[in-house]
Structures are given as structure tokens and as C-alpha cells.
Structure 1
Amino acid sequence: MTTEVATPHGPARITRHDAEGEARAVLLLGHGAGGGVGAPDLLATAGTAVAAGLHVVLVEQPYRVAGRRAPAPAAQLDAAWLAVVEHVRAELPLPLLFGGRSSGARVACRTATEGGAVGVLCLAFPVHPPGRPEKDRLPELAAPTVPVLVVQGRTDPFGRPEPAPGREVVLLRGDHSLKSDTPGLRAAVADWLTSHFGALTPAR
């Protein structure tokens, strides 16, 4: 089910995939800067979450809906994301997990506290621009105060974060696309969801 959601920066688009059986939470997933919600790692993660008893909402930022390839500034991305969060929370009164790949993972981290996320799932978090390790975004990754999972390619030119208190990091073979080890990606996501959120009460 795909619908548009009004945000301060134009309409966003959401595609909802319902859990198999009773849902215990909702996972919102955002796309990367230059890609869409059809990225293989996003689809693999969505399928894994649905099978684990979560509704999944794939979120397309307004700039993508408008047909622009260049991403909007961070403040606009965050504001649009939070507008979607409020829409989803009104429709599905369940615990919310935030997630996304690359730029979408940054948005999820930056908004986790304000948006009331219970966990954050980062696919290919871009620690720094390729070849620019001095421009790191680790403060964004450290911002959430809830459990965080980072799934990263071992040869990702955007860097590899280290584990930290509350942050698990799973390294898979391959690069920033996370296409090389889909079974490993699914296993990492399933294990994390089960270990941290398996006790959430399903909706009745």
C-alpha cells in the first residue's frame, strides 16, 4: 500500500508492508542519497522484518518524489522524516524503529531521539566521504540512546564504524551496496530484532 504524506518540504511517499501475523512494532526505512526504496539491502531488510513480526514502512523523501536526484539539506530531510513519523504513529500506534541505508541511516540517527524511536537500524552508514576520513559523521551515529545495529561492508569506501556501548556492528563481505552477502544481512537483522525487540507485545 503506497500513499503520499504531507511534509514541510513537499509530499513524501510511503509504502507499507504488513507483518505476518500480529505486529509487535513498526520499522521505518529511508533510502540513500542517490537511490530509492528499491535498493536490494532495503528490500532484504524489509522482508526480514516482516517475517519477524514488524510492519515495515519504506519512506521516499520529498526530493525523490519530486523527481530530483540531488538530496535535500539535512534539516529538510529530518523535518520530512519526522512528519512521516507522526503520520505513521497516528495510523499504527506501536513502538517505532527507525532505519535506512547510507543517507537514510544518518537521518534515522539524527531524528531517533526527537521521533521517539526504540531502536535504529543502519545499513552502510557513511562514516565519512570516500577518501576524506577527517570529515567523519560519527557524532550522528553516537546520537541515539537506544539500541543501534550497523551492517557494513568490509570494503566500504565510506568507512567502517566501531562497536560501542549500545551499538552493534556486523561486517559483511562487500562494499557500500551490501549486495554481496544478502543471507548475512538477513541473519544480522533477524538476530538483532529478535534479541532486542522479540519481547515487545504484539498488537491485538
Structure 2
Amino acid sequence: MSVVADVVRPNGAVRGVVVLAHGAGGNRDAAILRAYADALCARGLVVARIDMPYRQQRPKGPPSPSKAAADRDGIREACAQFRGESDGPLIVGGHSYGGRQASMLVAEDPGVADGLLLSSYPLHPPGKPERMRTEHLPDITVPTVIVHGSRDPFATTTELAGAIALFTAPVRVVEVTAPHDLKPDKTGVSGLAAKAVDTLFFDRKALQ
């Protein structure tokens, strides 16, 4: 399946690339992805917001667990397509389901990307903390930024802290007072996330 993406590019020098996938009920036009794209592009990053394969196949509805591997393949293909946009790092991730699939992809194949940006990672289904989605986290060996809403039913702050301890690479957490969708128009979360990405991957103190 081909890559379907909206891409924003900075006017000046390009320092890296970010590939972002949407949540289970959304698409590449999701407000949170657009907010991230604007903030990251302002810091010199090319940002591609992609539709995963299941969304290309139908405009509405949730993903099928049986086709999650195909969604990861779609993210992999997008990373390969946009890798050549910059000699800098390529960061992959996304919101909720998109971020989870990106994290599983990087755990399976660390060479796909140089880092992760996980937005509202769905640590477990709402109300079912016994069903933790953490098996692959110890296999993630690239630096990771996690953006978390303190009122997210998919993960409490305490639960997230426990999951972060499983990573084997640096993790930077951005937490805002918000539910799962992070309310980017009210919380300024996209700017905070972009700053965290800048700090973790570029360490440009002038931009702090």
C-alpha cells in the first residue's frame, strides 16, 4: 500500500524528520497531529502526518487487531520514504494507537528510526489496568518523548512511571492536565512536546 501523508517543511535548514500516525478513531488530519506538526516544523523539522493502512482502506471505524502488523508495515514504509529528507535524526510516533504501533515497530526493528514521540500512549484499555501493553517496552532502545494527559483513562501518571522504568533508552515525559485527546488548543501541549524533542535529540540550549 502506498504512503498517504500531509507533509510540512520548514523554510530554513532542515534538522530532522518526524513521521506521525493517528489514533484509532482518527486520521492524519487529527487536531493533535496538526498541532505537533506546526510546533515541530517551527523548530526545523520536516513532519509527515500519515494515514495508516487501515484508514486508507476505510474512512471510519477502528483498526482490526488482526491487521496491526500491516499498520506497522505502513509506518515502516513511511519512515523509509521520508528518511531522505534530512541527514538528521528520523523520529517516528503518533497519538494513541499510532504511537503504540510505532513503538512496537521500533522494538521489532530499531533501525527504522532514531527516536520515538509517543502521544497519549494507551498503556491499557480504559478501566482494565490488568491488561497492560508493556511487553515490548524493554526492547525499545531509542530515545523517547512521551506526552501524557494526567486525566487519561488509558494510563494514570503512576502507571506510566512504572512503564517508563522498562525502557532501555532515555525517556523524557511531558505531562499536561488534560484527557486522552490532550486538548492542544487549550494546553499548549504541542509546543511543550516540540521543546522536549529539541532537548532530547538536539540539545540546543538556545532554544530552551
Which category describes the TM-score, using the shorter chain as reference length? 0.7 to 0.9
Correspondence 1:31-180 to 2 at 5 A: 31-68=22-59, 69-72=61-64, 73-90=67-84, 92-113=86-107, 114=109, 115-160=111-156, 161-162=160-161, 163-164=164-165, 166-179=170-183
- In structure 2, relative to structure 1, the CA distance for the partners of 1:22 and 1:182 (3 Å cut) is farther
Q: What corresponds to 1:4 in structure 2?
A: none
Say if 1:141 and 1:20 are closer, same or farther in 2 by CA, change over 3 A: farther
Tell whether 2:190 aligns with 1:196: no
- The 8 Å contact of residues 19 and 50 in structure 1, kept in 2 or not, is answered as yes
Cα displacement string for residues 95-137 of structure 1 (whole angstroms, at most 9, x for unaligned residues): 2101100001111111225243111011100000011111111
- Deviation per residue, 1:16-51 (Å, 9 max, x gap): 110231101000000011111222221111111100
Give TM-score scaled by structure 1 length: 0.84
Distance 1:83-1:124 versus aligned 2 partners, 3 A rule = same
Contact 1:14–1:59 (CA under 8 A) maintained in structure 2: yes
Is the 8 Å Cα contact of residues 145 and 197 (structure 2) preserved in structure 1? no
- Cα distance in 1 for partners of 2:87, 2:184 equals 36
Q: Residues 12 and 120 (structure 1 numbering): CA distance in 2 closer, same or farther, change over 3 Å?
A: same
Q: Please give the alpha-carbon distance, in whole angstroms, between the structure 2 residues aligned to 1:35 and 1:91.
A: 26
Whether the 8 Å CA contact 1:120–1:144 is kept in 2: the answer is no
CA deviation after TM superposition for structure 1 residue 60, in Å: 0.4
Percentage of matched positions with identical amino acids: 34
1: CA distance between counterparts of 2:50 and 2:6? 7
Sort the Cα spacing of 1:49 and 1:142 in 2 relative to 1 into closer, same or farther, 3 A.
Answer: farther
For the 8 Å contact 2:176–2:187, the answer to whether it is kept is no
Instruction: Compare 15-24 and 64-73 and name the one that shifted more.
Output: 64-73
> Higher helix proportion, which one?
2
Q: What TM-score do the two structures reach when normalised by structure 2? A: 0.82
Q: For 2:62, give the aligned amino acid.
A: A
Q: Match of 2:115, as an amino acid?
A: G
> Residue deviations 1:156-204, cap 9 Å, x none?
111131143622222211110101665441332132122122269xxxx
| Matching residue's letter, 1:71 | P
Q: Which moved more, 1:61-70 or 1:86-95?
A: 86-95
**Cα shift readout 1:72-92 (whole Å, capped 9, x = no counterpart):** 422111112112222222455
Are 1:123 and 1:152, in contact at CA under 8 Å, matched by a contact in 2?
yes
